[in-house]
């Protein structure tokens, strides 16, 4: 398996060598920790800069490195033992996970409601459910570009931003409002803006995907990554500086919220709650938003799975494997790359317009490079090209960082000043490093063939290429 290929075969463990290795790592950690952690500058009451020694931090870091290395050297037997059981059939378990996951997702809002009651449920559905689903959708959208077509796009957030701003600008634009009020009555646009703008935002993002596609078509590898990264930054800078249109840093406020197909989620007599004779609570909107993003994410998944079995999807994967061979088989690689960019961008745009509708307020702050990096990390950790892997990675990464906010008991361990959320990025990086050690090709390290003659056998990751860029 891939794990074996990445690790040289280990002979019998020699305790002394292991200890020496671990001590070496500890020494390295010491060298790193002293300049970074040992001393901290603080101001005292008379505004003087004083040095605050923090040798206990250094000790913790060195000890942690020592233990981690020791553990890493002593546990390699683990993946090998797992091999036999995995051979039995990833297909069955894969399907079981998909079905179980789907059931869990559909039941999630009700489950949250039952477990933590109305007050807590909003937080759990919004912060965990909706937030994670947005990233799952972004991950699945980017998976088309990076995982299937093998084009490393580091500026995916640009399309997310295009979708969000398309919706926000269209829905709040005065001429559009006036036009709609004149032709369809004053109530039409506030109630239906979301449902009309959602596809428009997706198309707009897809259009920008094609626009970006043209200049980057000739580029490969690092060059492609850099140009897409720059594109993401350009979009963000335009959003910041084109103040008359985008309102700059201040962002766009009072974006119309989604309605239940024309029924607004408010306390009025024509609202959702009154219409169904229910007492008003903001919970309904949250639950509805959850199901909207769930439907959008599942649509992304369905389309991707479908496309993989169509010539265009197979051409994407072939492109990832060998572009020259594609050209020798009559595949127009230009168009193939453009469709990958456009479809991936389109889903990013859908997610963006949902994001704008959910927040009711957007500003360029939400579309920094960090977002692109997180989505790329989700795709890479998930296992490039694997839908279920991407979903699991999104849950782990986004859910993991959200859960840090809940870990108040850590304050009892580390003292009242300890803020778990500050260590978000540290844990993020740690998780990436660990995964790259144990599963260098992502969580799901095999590829499902799109068609088979007798038996669907997963292709091992070490066969599959990563694409040229």
Partner 1 sequence: MSVAAPPLLDVEHLTMRFGGLVAIDALSFAAARGEITAIIGPNGAGKTTVFNCITGFYKPTSGRLLLALGDADAGEVAALTASGRRWRNTAKGQIFLLERMPDYEIVARAHVARTFQNIRLFPGMTVLENLIVAQHNPLMAASGWTVLGLFGARRYVEAEARAVERAQYWLDKVGLMERADDPAGDLPYGAQRRLEIARAMCTEPALLCLDEPAAGLNPRESADLTAFLKSIQVEHGTSILLIEHDMSVVMEISHRVVVLEYGQKIADGPPDQVRNDPRVIAAYLGVEDEEVEKVEAEIAR
Shortest reach from residue 62's CB to partner 1, in Å:
42
Least spacing, CB of residue 379 vs partner 1, in Å: 17
325 binds partner 1 (CB under 8 A): yes
**Residue closer to partner 1 (CB basis): 123 or 314:** 314
State which residue, 412 or 454, has the beta carbon closest to partner 1. Answer: 454
Alpha carbon of residue 167 to chain centroid: 21
CB of 466 to partner 1, least distance (A): 9
Question: Which residue lies nearer to partner 1 by CB, 70 or 303?
Answer: 303
Q: Does residue 249 contact residue 364 with C-beta atoms inside 8 Å?
A: yes
Q: Minimum CB separation from partner 1 for residue 331, in Å?
A: 5
Per-residue interface string for the shown chain with partner 1, residues 131-160, x marking contact by CB under 8 A: ------------------------------
Min dist CB 213 to partner 1, Å, is 16
Per CB under 8 A, 54 contacts partner 1: no
328 touches partner 1 (CB under 8 A): yes
Length of the chain equals: 469
Query: What number of chain residues touch partner 1 (CB under 8 A)?
Result: 39
Q: How far apart are the first and last CA of the chain?
A: 24
* Selected binder of partner 1 within 82, 306, 405, 411 (CB under 8 A): 306
Q: Is residue 311 at the binding interface for partner 1, with CB under 8 A as the rule? A: yes
Two structure tokens written together for 191? 């109630």
**Does 91 contact partner 1 by CB under 8 A?**
no
Q: Is 87 in the site for partner 1 (CB under 8 A)?
A: no
Q: How far is the CB of 384 from partner 1 (least distance, A)?
A: 11
What are the residues facing 258 on neighbouring strands?
Answer: none
Q: Which is nearer to partner 1, 14 or 457 (CB)?
A: 457
Nearer to partner 1, 86 or 460 (CB): 460
For residues 387 and 397, give the distance between their C-alpha atoms in angstroms, rounded to a whole number: 15
**Closer by beta carbon to partner 1, 127 or else 450:** 450
Among 104, 310, 407, 430, binds partner 1 (CB under 8 A): 310
Stretch that binds partner 1, among 52-60, 367-375, 409-417, 457-465 (CB under 8 A): 457-465
The answer for residues whose C-beta is within 8 angstroms of residue 308's C-beta and 6 or more apart is 148, 314, 317, 450
Q: Is 468 exposed, middle or buried (0-12, 13-18, 19+ CB in 10 A)?
A: middle
From residue 376, alpha-carbon distances to 138, 207, 371, 394 in Å are: 9, 21, 9, 10
Distance separating alpha carbons of residues 122 and 289, to the nearest angstrom: 11
Tell me the per-residue interface mask from 416 to 455 with partner 1, x by CB under 8 A, - otherwise: -------------------------------x-xxxxxxx
Phi first, then psi: give them for residue 110, nearest 5 degrees.
Answer: -70, -40
- Kindly report the three-state secondary structure assignment for every residue of 44-75: CCCCCEEEEECHHHHHHHHHHHHHHHHHHHHC
Q: Which of 14, 82, 411, 457 binds partner 1 (CB under 8 A)?
A: 457
Question: Is residue 307 a contact point for partner 1 (CB under 8 A)?
Answer: yes
Strand partners, 190: none
User: Would you put residue 27 in left (φ > 0), alpha (ψ -120 to 50) or beta?
Assistant: alpha
Q: List CB contacts of 152: < 8 A, sequence separation 6 or more.
A: 146, 221, 224, 225, 228, 376, 467, 469
From the list 134, 362, 393, 464, which residue makes contact with partner 1 (rule: CB under 8 A)? 464
**Minimal distance in Å, beta carbon 451 to partner 1?**
6
Does the protein bind partner 1 through residue 321 (CB under 8 A)? Answer: yes
For partner 1, the closer CB: 25 or 300: 300
Closer residue to partner 1 (CB): 87 or 306? 306
- Return d(Cα 270, Cα 63) in angstroms, integer: 63
- Does 16 participate in binding partner 1 (rule CB under 8 A)? no
- Please say whether the beta carbons of 235 and 345 come within 8 A: no
Exactly one of 137, 168, 227, 318 binds partner 1 (CB under 8 A); which one?
318
DSSP character for 11?
-
3-state secondary structure of 103: helix
Pairing of strands 49-53, 39-43: antiparallel
Number of Cβ within a 10 Å radius of residue 363: 19
- We find the least distance from the C-beta atom of residue 351 to partner 1, in angstroms, to be 20
Of 7, 21, 322, 406, which one interacts with partner 1 (CB under 8 A)? 322
Binding site for partner 1 (CB under 8 A): 303, 306-307, 310-312, 314-315, 317-318, 320-322, 324-333, 339, 447, 449-457, 459-460, 463-465
């Amino acid at each position: 398996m891939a794990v074996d290929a990445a690790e040289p075969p280990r002979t019998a463990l020699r305790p002394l060598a292991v200890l020496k290795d671990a001590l070496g790592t500890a020494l390295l950690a010491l060298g790193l920790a002293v300049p970074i952690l040992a001393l901290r500058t603080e101001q005292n009451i008379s505004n003087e800069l004083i040095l605050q020694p923090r040798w206990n931090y250094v000790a913790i870091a060195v000890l942690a490195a020592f233990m981690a290395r020791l553990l890493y050297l002593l546990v390699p037997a683990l993946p090998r033992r797992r091999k036999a059981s995995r051979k039995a059939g990833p297909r069955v378990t894969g399907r079981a996970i998909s079905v179980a996951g789907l059931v869990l997702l559909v039941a999630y809002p009700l489950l949250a409601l039952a477990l933590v009651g109305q007050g807590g449920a909003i937080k759990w559905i919004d912060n965990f459910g909706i937030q994670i689903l947005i990233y799952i959708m972004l991950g699945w959208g980017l998976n088309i570009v990076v995982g299937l077509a093998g084009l490393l796009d580091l500026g995916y957030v640009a399309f997310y931003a295009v979708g969000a701003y398309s919706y926000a600008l269209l829905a709040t634009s005065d001429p559009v409002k006036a036009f709609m009020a004149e032709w369809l009555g004053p109530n039409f646009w506030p109630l239906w803006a979301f449902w009309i703008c959602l596809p428009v935002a997706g198309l707009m993002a897809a259009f920008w995907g094609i626009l970006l596609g043209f200049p980057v078509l000739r580029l490969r590898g690092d060059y492609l990554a850099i140009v897409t990264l720059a594109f993401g930054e350009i979009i963000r800078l335009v959003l910041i500086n084109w103040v008359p249109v985008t309102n700059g840093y201040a962002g766009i406020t009072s974006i119309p919220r989604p309605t239940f197909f024309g029924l607004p989620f408010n306390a009025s007599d024509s609202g959702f709650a009154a219409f169904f004779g229910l007492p008003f609570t903001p919970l309904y909107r949250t639950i509805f938003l959850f199901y909207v993003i769930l439907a959008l994410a599942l649509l992304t998944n369905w389309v991707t799975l479908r496309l993989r079995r169509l010539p265009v999807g197979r051409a994407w994967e072939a492109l990832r494997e060998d572009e020259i061979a594609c050209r020798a088989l009559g595949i127009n690689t230009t168009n193939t790359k453009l469709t990958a960019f456009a479809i991936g961008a389109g889903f990013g745009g859908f997610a963006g317009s949902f994001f704008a509708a959910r927040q009711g307020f957007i500003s360029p702050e939400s579309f920094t490079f960090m977002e692109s990096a997180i989505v790329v990390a989700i795709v890479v950790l998930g296992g490039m090209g694997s839908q279920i892997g991407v979903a699991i990675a999104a849950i782990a990464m986004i859910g993991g960082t959200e859960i840090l906010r809940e870990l108040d008991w850590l304050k009892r361990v580390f003292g009242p000043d300890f803020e778990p959320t500050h260590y978000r990025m540290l844990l993020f990086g740690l998780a990436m490093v660990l995964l790259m050690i144990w599963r260098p090709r992502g969580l799901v390290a095999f590829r499902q063939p799109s068609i088979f003659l007798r038996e669907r056998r997963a292709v091992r990751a070490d066969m599959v290429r990563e694409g040229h860029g």
